[in-house]
Amino acid sequence: METDFGRNITGRVDVFVNGAPPTPANTVDLVAAAAKSRYWEDQAAEFRYADSDFTIKLTPPDFQHLAFAQAATTGLLLFRLDASGKSRPRNLAFEPGTYHFFLNLVDGRWLGRAIGGGGVVICSTLGILVRQQVNYHPGRTHTETPSISLHRVFEAVDAPQQAGRSLRLQAESGWADVQIDWTPFGAGCWKTIVCVPGPDQ
């Protein structure tokens, strides 16, 4: 099946999990490590909200080596989240401040957690999709950077699909596609892209 990401071969490529992952690291330790990470400010993306001055900015860290394995075992840092503004929408859990968003595999499901100062979990997110993408481009070399692209979940049938680094939301919901791992190889490259429901869900 063709998708925006390419040909979907789900059902022919399997992922097996044996045993149980270790207990996730202490949230205080996770935040301390995340605070020392380097972030790509020029690749940040921002959710904005109608009738409000509130914004949610997502900034990706450096590529995370073996991102899929990290998410399935120790936990994966996906982005730094900066909330700002005075008129916070009622459906948002975030007060103004800085948070870090991590992905873990828990009981066979992907679980995202936004962690604030002091290691406090502000909110949890289900419904996350983790995509492994292979791009074939023999004879062509290039370099990619960590990035985040925002898009709406539902659009009118005749409306063009919009994706970018700034998205203004009203009643609809948004998603963030985070390119968190990229590895070149002889015939192309391999990517890990994590699709996260927006903070309003």
Torsion of CA 102, 106, 111, 112, to 10 degrees: -10
Establish if 14 belongs to a structural domain. Answer: no
pLDDT digit string, tens, across residues 57-99: 999 999 999 999 999 888 899 999 999 998 888 878 899 999 9
Q: Yes or no: say if 30 and 103 are a contact pair by the CB < 8 Å rule.
A: no
Establish if 96 belongs to a structural domain. Answer: yes
Establish if 8 belongs to a structural domain. Answer: no
Establish if 178 belongs to a structural domain. Answer: yes
Entry pTM? 0.85
- Please tell me which residue, 153 or 34, carries the higher pLDDT value: 34
pLDDT digit string, tens, across residues 109-159: 899 999 998 899 999 999 999 998 888 888 777 789 999 999 876 554 444
CA angle 129, 130, 133 (to 5 degrees): 125
The DSSP bridge partners found for residue 199 are: none
pLDDT of residue 5: 59
pLDDT of residue 10: 65
pLDDT of residue 106: 85
pLDDT digit string, tens, across residues 180-192: 999 988 788 899 9
pLDDT of residue 170: 55
The total number of structural domains that make up the chain: 1
Torsion of CA 178, 184, 190, 194, to 10 degrees: -10
pLDDT of residue 52: 83
Establish if 2 belongs to a structural domain. Answer: no
Establish if 93 belongs to a structural domain. Answer: yes
Establish if 17 belongs to a structural domain. Answer: no
- Rounded to 5 degrees, φ, ψ at 18 are -115, 135
Establish if 124 belongs to a structural domain. Answer: yes
Range of the domain at 38: 25-197
| 68 three-state secondary structure | helix
How does the average pLDDT of the chain come out, rounded? 83
